Chains A and B, each alone.
Chain A
Amino acid sequence: MANADVTVQRLTKRYGTNGRTVTALSGIDLTIRAGSVVSIVGSSGCGKSTLLRIVAGLDTDYEGTAALGGARIRGPGLDRGMVFQEHRLLPWLTVEQNIAFGLNGLGAAETRRRVEEHLELVGLAAFARAYPGQLSGGMSQRVAIARALANRPEVLLLDEPFGALDALTRIQMQQEVLRIWQADRTTMILVTHDIDEAIYLGDDVVVMSARPGTVRTVIPVELPRPRDRNSQPFAEIRKRIHAEFFGDGSAGTAYVI
């Protein structure tokens, strides 16, 4: 479905806070092929959210370029959908109203059709009329994904979407995202601090380092899906990523990330 690459070139982002400037991102070069899933891992504060916000168009004050399908990103647009760590559902709207919140100018019949289709997609058709306060964390996040996908974006941006969920729900959600991606091949950029999640879902895992945020390395994950977290090749990739953060030695006293 998606047919536009995301390209980021020599991207540098500085924040000026009371006289001091913080370089959040420095010289980022990345190409995310249309239809692929790219995971981004990195320690907290290394600029992952900043990068996603720039691609989303929420932050347009930066150096370098960020483009979708060759066109420079100048602001938010329906060709990009976003899911945040908190579900960000409107508490006073029902599940179906929350999904319809992002559907504008489509006409009543098409809106209803899209809402139903995406409720079905995330398996929550039975909860169309429930309020967010009645849902579990995992269900809320699935509604947020449905809302982000309802406009059929080229790119889905996920900023630590499962970070607040328990370990078991998180794995279920990863399987769910995989299923959704296999169904329509929307390009996905997934920020996570869960290394297994990054490997399980990503075609590539981008490893970032902090202060200033740079791309340390990009590790391709050439394993067939669904991936077995306990398999030998999976473990080897996990080990490589660990080595990027902690060094090769298993001394356990590596620098704090």
Chain B
Amino acid sequence: MTAAGDILEVRAAPRLPRLNLGRAGRWAFAAAAPVLLLAVWQALYALGVVRPILLPPPTRIAATLWSLIASGELPRHVGVSALRVLEGFALSASLALALGVAIGLSRTLDRFLDLLIQLVKPIPPIAWIPLAILWFGIGEEAKVYIIVVGGFFPILINTIDGIRQTDTRFVELAKLLEVPRWKFIRQVVLPGALPPIMSGLRIGLNVSWMCVVAAELIAASSGIGYLIMDARQLSQTDVVLAGMATMGVLGKLTDDALRLVERRLITWRTSFGGV
């Protein structure tokens, strides 16, 4: 029994037939869908089905992207937006995590704040923009404020839920072993809540990107949202689409970064990866 041999028992699970690809193969397979979309899009242009002024072909957008990068205009806007997201997300995450843990652990605090949260949560971040402008003008604070409002609730709600879902069998165990409260929180509650907390952070970051663009569309003189809105006024559809594509890539990259953190932190989980 103590032999190292029995440490991992390999079970043969019934499996649906699936494509067996190598690492490179999987990459290629995943890239196929966006490539296919671009190909169809390009073909529609070549066939003259869509008007280029409404929907320029991918090749045009790529060229525009390239010149925007080369001129330093796109990197400048990306830098401005990313900084706003970073500031806003860092703020909303620290506030929501602290308050979420406190509410999750304290019934009294939960009862006290629950109604207030339920009433404020449904107000969309965009609806806060006019108020933010009145309060902060159109400076940086207004944008960061919108991002904080947007990212706050998904992180808060997931943190509270994660803590509330603490396994009652572990609560019982801690009672039997007379585990001190602080150790219980550190070794049972927080690790158990980590998966939902990470989901909350990912959603929060996603919402933060949406909020920065929304805020920049309405009142800004820099940032990707501003770039898109400015291009619309000049009917530069290719710049609009180049800005949108940049948003997509940025969102994916930052989500990847959080997923990496998640995998580092949650090493014990063996979850269902799909058949």
Does A245 count as interface, using CB distance less than 8 angstroms? Answer: no
Interface residues of B in 167-216 (CB under 8 A from A): 169-170, 172-173, 175-180, 183, 187-188, 191-192
Complex Cα spacing A126 to B5, Å: 12
Q: Which 10 A-B pairs have the closest CB atoms?
A: A102-B177, A92-B191, A91-B268, A123-B2, A92-B268, A76-B176, A76-B175, A136-B6, A82-B176, A88-B173
A-contacting residues of B (Cβ < 8 Å)? Answer: 1-2, 4, 6-9, 169-170, 172-173, 175-180, 183, 187-188, 191-192, 266-270
Interface residues of A in 85-99 (CB under 8 A from B): 86, 88, 90-93, 97
Complex Cα spacing A92 to B264, Å: 12
Does A233 count as interface, using CB distance less than 8 angstroms? Answer: no
- Whether B2 and A88, one on each chain, are in contact in the complex, defined by CB atoms closer than 8 angstroms, is no
Question: Can you name 5 extra interface pairs (CB under 8 A) apart from A93-B191, A104-B180, A169-B1?
Answer: A78-B177, A97-B187, A101-B179, A126-B4, A132-B268
Interface residues of A in 155-190 (CB under 8 A from B): 169, 172
B-contacting residues of A (Cβ < 8 Å)? Answer: 56-58, 76-78, 80-82, 84, 86, 88, 90-93, 97, 101-102, 104-105, 123-124, 126-127, 130-136, 138-139, 147, 151, 169, 172
Q: Which residues of B have CB within 8 Å of A56?
A: 176
Q: Which residues of B have CB within 8 Å of A102?
A: 176-177, 179
- Whether A78 and B178, one on each chain, are in contact in the complex, defined by CB atoms closer than 8 angstroms, is yes
Q: Which residues of A have CB within 8 Å of B180?
A: 104-105
9 cross-chain CB contacts under 8 A = A76-B175, A88-B173, A90-B170, A101-B179, A102-B177, A135-B7, A136-B7, A139-B6, A147-B177
Complex Cα spacing A138 to B1, Å: 8
Report the nearest B residue to A172, measured CB to CB.
B1
Q: Which residues of B have CB within 8 Å of A86?
A: 169
Complex Cα spacing A213 to B270, Å: 40
B186 smallest CB distance to A (angstroms): 11
Complex Cα spacing A86 to B172, Å: 13
Complex Cα spacing A92 to B265, Å: 10
- Whether A104 and B177, one on each chain, are in contact in the complex, defined by CB atoms closer than 8 angstroms, is yes
Report the nearest A residue to B265, measured CB to CB.
A92
Q: Which residues of B have CB within 8 Å of A126?
A: 2, 4
Complex Cα spacing A30 to B172, Å: 25
Q: Which residues of B have CB within 8 Å of A90?
A: 170, 187-188, 191
